Amino acid sequence: MPLNTPIKDWSNKRVWIIGASTGIGEALAKQLSHAGARLFISARSKDKLELLAGALNATRALPFDMTHEAAVAHAAETVFAEWGGVDVVVVMAGTYVEMRAQNFDLAAAKHQVEVNINGVLNVLAPVLPQLIKQGSGHISLVSSVAGYSGLPNGMIYGASKAALINMAEALLVDLSENNVDVSLVCPGFVETPLTAKNEFPMPFIITVEEAAKAMVDSFARGDFEMHFPKKFTRILKFLRLLPYTLYFAAVKKTTGMGGKNARA
Ligand SMILES: NC(=O)c1ccc[n+]([C@@H]2O[C@H](COP(=O)([O-])OP(=O)(O)OC[C@H]3O[C@@H](n4cnc5c(N)ncnc54)[C@H](OP(=O)(O)O)[C@@H]3O)[C@@H](O)[C@H]2O)c1
């Protein structure tokens, strides 16, 4: 029994993707538009959004910075007024700065929290009451496998994504009282501008088209958690079940990080 109502037919579905100017969000917008959905696409880059909207059917650009509460609220009013409601909201936008304890940067840390957590809250503020009032719809939060457990380079980013995992779990329980569906997206490595700056090897990396297709397939199955590619995400899911001594030893062995004096 799926946790969500499967979405197999996207014809005329009203979909708002926040974080659709590049990467996985852009690829998802293309696939859903081709499947017949009507779209509002958001991010900060007005030009990129307008170019994409012009190339897709029934798609409109709605640029804003999701860290600006009033701008997000205004955009949400536009979406709800234009469509009289919304069927699916995907909160895709996020930011990543590689950080370890040795190069801790307070400003960069706070910025990641501001976008990856507070930005999501700015979206939830207008979207939750609307979905609850409708008694229908679906909200999807995009987290990461980096949120499963602590990994080197992922300090702050991983913590912000862990918060979204917890938030989505709580939302699923709460919103099941209102017939509103919730999904949690945990991608592994995907080739996008966000990962282009990584200098370490990214195992099992996939394309944006593959990532978007995995999401579309998950929507069709009614999955709560959309995680991909499975051959990578299953390893990480197993690792987080291990006792900490084994977990830290495995992380040190696979990443080569931890130092010669590491206790693990
Ligand atoms: N790529 C991966 O390997 C990977 C793995 C796990 C999870 N993820 C997650 O997947 C999501 C999409 O990532 P991606 O790899 O596709 O990255 P991306 O290509 O950098 O896309 C990020 C999107 O978020 C938008 N955005 C960033 N800051 C924003 C802000 N303040 N306000 C509004 N929009 C903002 C960006 O557009 P503008 O710059 O135009 O605002 C862009 O559309 C992120 O949440 C990321 O954490 C990615």
By percentage, how much of the chain surpasses pLDDT 70?
98
Q: Cα-Cα-Cα-Cα dihedral of 96, 187, 35, 64, to 10°?
A: -20
- Positive or negative torsion for Cα 231, 112, 31, 226: positive
pLDDT in tens, 201-257: 899 999 999 999 999 999 999 999 999 999 999 999 999 999 999 999 999 998 888
Q: Which of 194, 205, 227, 233 maximizes ligand 1 atoms within 8 Å of its Cβ, making it the mutation to test the pocket?
A: 194
**pLDDT confidence of residue 144:** 98
Q: Please name which of 198, 200, 217, 197 lies closest in space to residue 209, comparing C-alpha atoms.
A: 217
pLDDT of 260 higher than 90: no
pLDDT in tens, 154-211: 999 999 999 999 999 999 999 999 999 999 999 999 999 989 988 888 999 999 999 9
* Ligand 1 atom showing the smallest separation from residue 187 Cα: 6
What are residue 5's phi and psi, to 5 degrees? -70, 120
Q: How far is the CA of 48 from the centre of ligand 1 (A)?
A: 14
pLDDT of 132 higher than 60: yes
Most distant CA pair in the chain, distance: 60
**pLDDT confidence of residue 198:** 86
Cβ neighbors of 165 (< 8 A, separation 6 or more) are 143, 147, 148, 184, 186
* Ligand 1 atom showing the smallest separation from residue 142 Cα: 45
Q: How far is the CA of 180 from the centre of ligand 1 (A)?
A: 25
pLDDT of 261 higher than 60: no
Question: Ligand 1: residues within 6 Å at CB?
Answer: 19-25, 43-45, 65-67, 92-96, 115, 119, 142, 144, 187, 189-190, 192-195
96 catalytic per annotation: no
What is the band of 108 on the pLDDT scale with cuts at 50, 70, 90?
very high
Q: How far is the CA of 11 from the centre of ligand 1 (A)?
A: 26
**pLDDT confidence of residue 263:** 54
Q: How far is the CA of 192 from the centre of ligand 1 (A)?
A: 9
CATH architecture of 14-255: 3-Layer(aba) Sandwich (3.40)
Q: Which of 16, 18, 44 maximizes ligand 1 atoms within 8 Å of its Cβ, making it the mutation to test the pocket?
A: 44
By percentage, how much of the chain surpasses pLDDT 90?
92
The whole model's pTM is what? Answer: 0.97
pLDDT in tens, 12-36: 999 999 999 999 999 999 999 999 9
Closest-CA residue, ligand 1 atom 2, reads 190
Cβ neighbors of 234 (< 8 A, separation 6 or more) are none
